[in-house]
Amino acid sequence: MPLHRYQDVEGDGRRRGGPHAAEDQREVADRRLRGSPRHAQPVGHGAMAQPETVSAPPAPPRRAARMRVDNRLVKLVARAPATLRTKLLVGLLAIAALLVLVGVLGLQVLGKTNARVVGLGTLQLRSSTYQALEAHATDLRQALGARSAGTIEVTPYTGGARLQGGRQWTLADLAVADVLSEIELGANEVTFGFVPPPADERVLRRIRRDYRIVYRDLASIKKLDSKDISGYGSEKFIRRAISDLQQSATNLADRTSSEAAGLIAANRSAYTSSRNLFIAVSAGSVAFALVLGVILSWSVIRPIRDTEARLAGIAEGDFTGRLDVPNRDELGALAANVNRMSDELRRLYGDLEAASRHKSEFLANMSHELRTPLNAVIGFSEILHEEMFGELNERQLEYVEDVLDAARHLVSLINDVLDLSKVEAGHMELELTDVSLSEILKSGLTMHEERASRGALTLGLEVLPEEIVLRADERKLRQVVFNLLSNAVKFTSRSPTRDQASTTTSRNRSSRCSSKDGEERSPFVRKEAGSGCRWLGGSSSCTAGGSGSRARGDKERRSGSRCP
């Protein structure tokens, strides 16, 4: 993360550098201001000392009441001392319990409905049985009435003639006996197919009693009829018993029909009530599940959003906020770690800012310390060049010009050191102009010729074509040429063999140097201006870069090394 300063360093004028050091510091600050991004925000120690709390955005006014209720429930769930897994499991178990409750309620409703259906079937069976018994009682009454009437329609065996011994009543007696047998079977509980309730049992006992009375009296009447004796005085008792039997059967059938109708109405009402209850429980379960899901989701989503917002602020360089998460689970631990990380980053940022400030102060002071003797060198060189203390020969003037060029080049290097914005941005701005390559090469040879002669080396220049004009940054191109020649002079072994060096340009910006045997090789490829270069292989006179011993250079030539 780049550090950006927005204030000039003050108070350095009181140092031994005087006003020039303060001017250099202002230059550093101005250049850093020009190189800093527009969106950068200043971070000071005062701002860091006042932490703020990161909270969720305010809710709309019309939803404020609901949000307050939600906040209470959400905070209650969030502050529960349990892990997220436990909370989610509890929520899922609650929803599963609701589903089980709805299922159990549905089974109960179905069970009650089935019981009512079974009861209704039993009532229908009872009603049909009792109605058949009532019909048999009515048939018995009609058969006895026909016998008492004494019409000839009941004597089919005699053709209408009156016979002695009661033979004319044979058909009526058969009908009465048949009906009595039906009543006996109809009143027998074994043939019902159901268990009659106690009230029905009492009525059935009364019917069976009346049946026995009718059967006994009819047996007596049949005996009198067989003897041709008028013994019809007991018929009134028979009629009374038959009336009682018919009334009992009718009451039993009517009561059973009424119970069946009541059960049908109760079944209809129970269905409506069960349906409404089932719908209410289902709707309540769905609402509860939704509320539970919303509460659980907000207890997780809200801290995650706050954490995301806080991390975004930290990524933008804001270390002043605090993350307030009430959760007592993994999200709460995450919030605590984020706050701890923010505090640590704020501390480290302060340390880096202090280090950057000290670096700027050091560079400003050192620039003045470097310029002070350099100004003296430039000044005396200019005096010598202007021959103020006497005339100089041509060779001496060339030396003085070389000294001036080297001093001016050193001033430009000091300016590059002061240009901290370029260093922080990771690139250098080029001032493109039309540059004569031959002049730069000649200047480089002139500066390093004396040093090469001390090492028994001879520098030669061959430019084809003679005049090459490039569109480049003259100062940086001169620096590259000087560095290459300096390394060549520094690391070329002293031997009678003459080393030659030449440069060519290509699309991949490759530089070539020749080995001692004259074979041309491509020792390295320079990726960008001012960066390192990598050996591609082979033995060459180019070894290490800038500094180091000859032993290290020989080792790097064998293994492949880097050079400036």
At 461, list the tokens. Answer: 């220049």
pLDDT at 361 > cutoff 70: yes
At 63, list the tokens. Answer: 């939803």
* pLDDT greater at residue 66 or residue 443: 443
**Do residues 472 and 430 make contact, with C-beta atoms less than 8 angstroms apart?**
yes
pLDDT at 414 > cutoff 50: yes
**Domain chopping of the chain, boundaries:** 1-36+357-429, 85-295, 435-563
CATH code for residues 85-295 = 1.20.120.1730
Q: Which of 25-29, 149-153, 445-449 has the highest mean pLDDT?
A: 445-449
Question: pLDDT for 255-273, tens place per residue?
Answer: 888 888 887 888 788 778 8
pTM of the complete model beyond 0.85: no
pLDDT at 551 > cutoff 70: no
Q: How many residues does the chain have?
A: 564
Q: What is the mean pLDDT of the chain?
A: 67
**Do residues 478 and 444 make contact, with C-beta atoms less than 8 angstroms apart?**
yes
pLDDT for 498 equals 44
Q: Per-residue confidence at 151, pLDDT binned at 50, 70, 90?
A: low
Strand-strand pairing, 469-473 and 510-514: unpaired
Q: Which of 7-16, 163-172, 177-186, 538-547 has the highest mean pLDDT?
A: 177-186
pLDDT at 39 > cutoff 50: no
pLDDT at 403 > cutoff 80: yes
Strand-strand pairing, 321-323 and 533-535: unpaired
pLDDT at 197 > cutoff 50: yes
pLDDT for 422 equals 59
What is the average pLDDT across 542-564?
A: 37
CA 55 to chain centre: 20
CATH code for residues 435-563 = 3.30.565
Q: Which of 148-152, 232-236, 324-328, 352-356 has the highest mean pLDDT?
A: 352-356
pLDDT at 521 > cutoff 50: no
Q: Per-residue confidence at 353, pLDDT binned at 50, 70, 90?
A: confident
pLDDT for 262 equals 82
d(CA 422, CA 35): 7
* pLDDT greater at residue 286 or residue 194: 286
pLDDT for 277 equals 80
pLDDT for 556 equals 41
**Do residues 487 and 446 make contact, with C-beta atoms less than 8 angstroms apart?**
no
pLDDT for 134 equals 76
d(CA 546, CA 484): 9
**Do residues 496 and 470 make contact, with C-beta atoms less than 8 angstroms apart?**
no
What is the average pLDDT across 384-406?
A: 85
pLDDT at 425 > cutoff 60: no
* pLDDT greater at residue 467 or residue 143: 467
pLDDT at 497 > cutoff 70: no
Q: What percent of the chain has pLDDT over 90?
A: 0
Lowest-pLDDT choice from 65-79, 158-172, 434-448, 484-498: 158-172
Count CA within 13 A, CB hemisphere, residue 111: 6
| Collapsed DSSP state (helix, strand, coil) of residue 226 | helix
Question: pLDDT for 50-95, tens place per residue?
Answer: 444 444 444 444 444 344 445 677 767 777 777 777 878 888 888 8
**Do residues 182 and 136 make contact, with C-beta atoms less than 8 angstroms apart?**
yes
**Do residues 127 and 135 make contact, with C-beta atoms less than 8 angstroms apart?**
no
What is the average pLDDT across 157-186?
A: 57
| Collapsed DSSP state (helix, strand, coil) of residue 520 | strand
pLDDT for 227 equals 55
**Do residues 545 and 563 make contact, with C-beta atoms less than 8 angstroms apart?**
yes
* pLDDT greater at residue 353 or residue 148: 353
pLDDT at 552 > cutoff 70: no
d(CA 1, CA 9): 21
What is the average pLDDT across 28-44?
A: 42
